[in-house]
Amino acid sequence: MGKIIVLRLGHRVYRDRRITTHVGLVARAFGADGIILSGEHDENVIKSLKNVVEKWGGPFSISYEKNWLKIIRDWKNQGIVIHLTMYGINLPDIIEKLRELYKQNKNFLIIVGAEKVPSIIFELADYNVAIGNQPHSEVAALAVFLDWLFTGKELTKELQNAEIKIIPSSHEKKIIRKKK
């Protein structure tokens, strides 16, 4: 299968730390292969995400790149660029096409922005995709996008080298710890 990498644009340390962390956690939990962070460099977010991979398993790559334009331009030679935006084509109208590309082993770069996204992103993206044409959240948009792309299978995927694992339970918290 192709590689799925999330590019988080325009991170601001003060304002976006928790949202960007949630974007990273969602990328991992919903089956992406990694995240590239852009905007302000924020070691805290990188550290939080690495800790989660360490404890809960991977593989999941985390990196920082200031020059997002270069990332996108390079990516266009090796895969598809998808920008999640409420202005785009609504997910139900485009998902079949995207699933087909994924089945053809195409690599996907999935861009999620912070509040203002430069208009060049709309031009460079192969697909501007809306998860409903309503204002909500890049965290939700990414989760629902990946969930539709993988037709829900990501929710039962086992990750590798986890120290902690949850035993699903109807009324309590059950975890098991493994020695690595």
Q: Any alpha helices (H) in the chain, and if so which ranges?
A: 13-29, 43-56, 68-75, 95-103, 119-124, 138-149
Q: How far is the CB of 142 from a second copy (least distance, A)?
A: 7
C-beta separation of 178 from 56 below 8 A:
no
Buried b / exposed e along 51-65 (16+ C-beta atoms within 10 A)? ebbeebbbebbbebe
Which is nearer to a second copy, 66 or 164 (by Cβ)?
164
Q: How far is the CB of 68 from a second copy (least distance, A)?
A: 18
SS3 151: coil
Q: How far is the CB of 79 from a second copy (least distance, A)?
A: 18
Q: In DSSP terms, which residues pair with 110 in a beta bridge?
A: 6, 82
Which is nearer to a second copy, 56 or 75 (by Cβ)?
56
Which is nearer to a second copy, 43 or 123 (by Cβ)?
123
Kindly tell me the number of DSSP H helices and DSSP E strands found in the chain.
6, 8
Which is nearer to a second copy, 53 or 105 (by Cβ)?
53
Residues in touch with a second copy (CB under 8 A): 15-16, 18-19, 22, 25-26, 28-30, 52, 56, 86-93, 119, 122-123, 125, 127-128, 130-137, 139-140, 142-144, 147-148, 152, 154-156, 159, 165-166, 168-175
Q: How far is the CB of 106 from a second copy (least distance, A)?
A: 18
Q: How far is the CB of 16 from a second copy (least distance, A)?
A: 8
Cα atoms in the Cβ-side hemisphere of radius 13 Å centred on 160: 4
Which is nearer to a second copy, 38 or 128 (by Cβ)?
128
The type of residue at 128 is: N
